[in-house]
Amino acid sequence: MSGGLTGWLRGRVGLIAAVLLLVVVAAMAVAPWIFTPLDPLATDTSQVLQPPAWGHPFGTDQTGRDVFTRVVYGASYSLGVGVGATAAALVVGIIVGTLAGLAPRVIDSVAMRGVEILLAFPEFLIALFAIAVLGPGPVNVATAVGVAAVPAYIRVARAETLVVRRSGYVEAARGLGVHPLRVAVAHIVPNTLRPLGVIATIGIGTTIVAAAGLSFLGLGPQDPTPEWGLLLSGGRNLLGQAWWVAFFPGVLITLTVVSATVVGRRLRRAGEGRA
């Protein structure tokens, strides 16, 4: 069966790499100390702007902090914001979308027109607007990014609800005299989750980029905090002399987002195959 194994591996290399990378990033976020013994905030004026070397694989920045360590510790912020904001957007999206899908047509129409207005603006603009209202800060960045992501989830949740609502099993439950609330909780919501889970996986990547973007503009966590967007923006002015300060955080943002997208698309294809 070794032929079968190589055959199975072929075409899945990208997926396996993506999953591995996400696992590593998740481990960095949860337990950064196993990757690096150094302190992300410790400055060392004797080691300013050192290029990548054995002791500092990603080099050091202008205050002599180890870039690798800062990137590792930054994972928790970026992933935290990405996962947290996506989860919050998902929950709100499911509740609002399901209610809209089940509501009388007038209410549904009003809600959907509102969602369409939100969708008409670029997500990032909405996030910026939310920050302008809430003020800068790490929690507000997560909130802003989540708010920006919600309309898309509402739409999908509503569309799935409309499909499931017309399904034979919802009619069957109704025919058995099951209470509508129970039908919604026991049949409708669980059966809309699969496609939502898939787009949420892809959404994590988008959210990380959006959060890093806000931080890059200085609207998120402030300087000593190691956050990928902030690291990128800090290294921006040094690109000519010390490319590594901005390069490695940038690479990690890119790889994480691409991996999340690869896994998400794979899940989607698997879901379509099943349907």
Partner 1 sequence: MIENREVVRISGLTVRFGQTVVVDSVSLSVAAGECLAIVGESGSGKTLTARALLGLLPDGASVAVDELVIDGVDARRYSQRDWRRIRGARVGLVSQDALVSLDPLRRVGAEVAEVIEIHGARGSGERMPRAGIVDTVTGMLARVAVPEPAERARQYPHELSGGLRQRALIASALAGEPGVLIADEPTTALDVTVQAQVLDLLAGLRRDGLGIVVISHDLAVVSGLADRVAVMKDGRIVEEGVTDEVLSRPQHPYTQMLLAAAPRLGDGPFADRVAARRRSPSIEITPGGLDTAAGGLLDQRESTPLLHATGLGRDFRRPDGSLRSAVDDVSLVVHAGASIGVVGESGSGKTTLARLLLAFDDPNRGSVSLDGVEWSGVPERRRRSRRGDIQLISQDPLGSFDPRYTVARIVAEGLRGDARRTSPGDRAARIRQLLDSVGLDASLEGRRPHELSGGQRQRVAIARALASEPRILVCDEPVSALDVSIQATIIDLLNALRRDLGVALVFVSHDLAVVAQLCDEVVVMKDGRVVESGATDRVFRHPEHPFTRALVAAVPRMP
Q: What is the DSSP string of 197-235?
A: HHHHHHHHHHHHHHHHHHHHTT-SS-TTS--HHHHHHHH
Burial string for 178-207 (b: 16+ CB within 10 Å, else e) reads eeeeebbeebbbebbeebbebbbbbbbbbb
Binding segment toward partner 1, per CB under 8 A, in 20-28, 50-58, 165-173, 228-236: 165-173
Binding mask 168-207 for partner 1 (x = CB under 8 A): xx-xxxxxxxxxx-----xx--xx----------------
Residue that has been written with the tokens 């075409």 in this structure: 11
Q: How many CB atoms lie under 10 A from the CB of residue 41?
A: 13
CB of 146 to partner 1, least distance (A): 28
Count of all residues that appear for the chain in the document: 275
Q: Considering CB under 8 A, how many residues would be counted as binding partner 1? A: 17
End-to-end CA distance of the chain: 29
Q: What is the DSSP string of 129-155?
A: HHHHHH-SSHHHHHHHHHHHHHHHHHH
Of 171 and 223, CB closest to partner 1: 171
Of 37 and 273, CB closest to partner 1: 273
CB of 48 to partner 1, least distance (A): 59
Binding segment toward partner 1, per CB under 8 A, in 18-26, 54-62, 126-134, 162-170: 162-170
Of 11 and 240, CB closest to partner 1: 11
Of 55 and 190, CB closest to partner 1: 190
Of 196 and 230, CB closest to partner 1: 196
Q: Which of 55, 109, 167, 237 binds partner 1 (CB under 8 A)?
A: 167
CB of 162 to partner 1, least distance (A): 16
Burial string for 85-122 (b: 16+ CB within 10 Å, else e) reads bbebbbebbbebbbbbbbeeeeebeebbeebeebeeee
CB of 4 to partner 1, least distance (A): 12
CB of 75 to partner 1, least distance (A): 34
Phi-psi region of 173 (alpha: psi -120 to 50; beta: other; left: phi over 0): alpha
Of 104 and 135, CB closest to partner 1: 104
**Interface with partner 1 (CB under 8 A):** 167-169, 171-180, 186-187, 190-191
